[in-house]
Amino acid sequence: MSSMRIRSFCCVLLAGAAVFQAQQALSCELATGYFYQVTRLRGTVVGMGNYWPLLGYRSYPRWLRHRTLRGNVDLRLYDYRWPRSIRESRPVAVTRADENGRFDFGVLREGHYTLVIDWPTEYANPFDVEIKRLPAETSSVTIDVSPVDPDCSGGHEFISYSK
């Protein structure tokens, strides 16, 4: 009888562990073909990786996400081609953020691009950007690579600052 009790206890323990290890599925779908318009791609990569259990597994507060710099991440820029996968293309430009999350693609020709940031994993954070002339020149951008909450709030932000 005690072996049956131990077996039942182990089954309950394993089932409980499986429930606590389950990943949260994203129900949010980001808009395809929405382009962030900038005159240049220079700025900072920020963001937090996990959810905050104290907030019911929602993302960290915005002020905290934007103060966490993501250094030494790879950024690749591809010509925009939808619906073709960017994995089938060669990047137009590649750069790496320094230890403080700062990056600069230098001079780019006008056009539509897909910017991919390899954090936390490769091809994890794509942003559609348009390089064009604007009334106010873009001085810098801040890119938040934090995960997006199921209600589409939280990370994945592209903020441009003008001179």
Q: List the domain boundaries for the chain.
A: 28-162
Amino acid at 58: R
- Residues 9-38 have a mean pLDDT of 68
Global confidence as pTM: 0.77
The architecture of the domain spanning 28-162 is: Sandwich (2.60)
Sheet with 36-38, side-by-side order of all strands: 36-38, 125-131, 111-117, 74-79, 93-96
- Residues 83-107 have a mean pLDDT of 92
Q: How many CB atoms lie within 10 A of CB 101?
A: 21
Backbone phi, psi, residue 29, to 5°:
-120, 125
Residue 92 — very low, low, confident or very high, per pLDDT cuts 50/70/90? very high
* Residue 44: closest CA among 148, 136, 161: 161
Position 138 scores a pLDDT of 97
Is residue 6 within 8 Å of residue 128, measured between CB atoms? no
Q: Which of 14-28, 98-112, 138-152 has the highest mean pLDDT?
A: 98-112
d(CA 37, CA 59): 26
Query: Is the pLDDT reported for residue 142 higher than 70?
Result: yes
Is residue 113 within 8 Å of residue 78, measured between CB atoms? yes
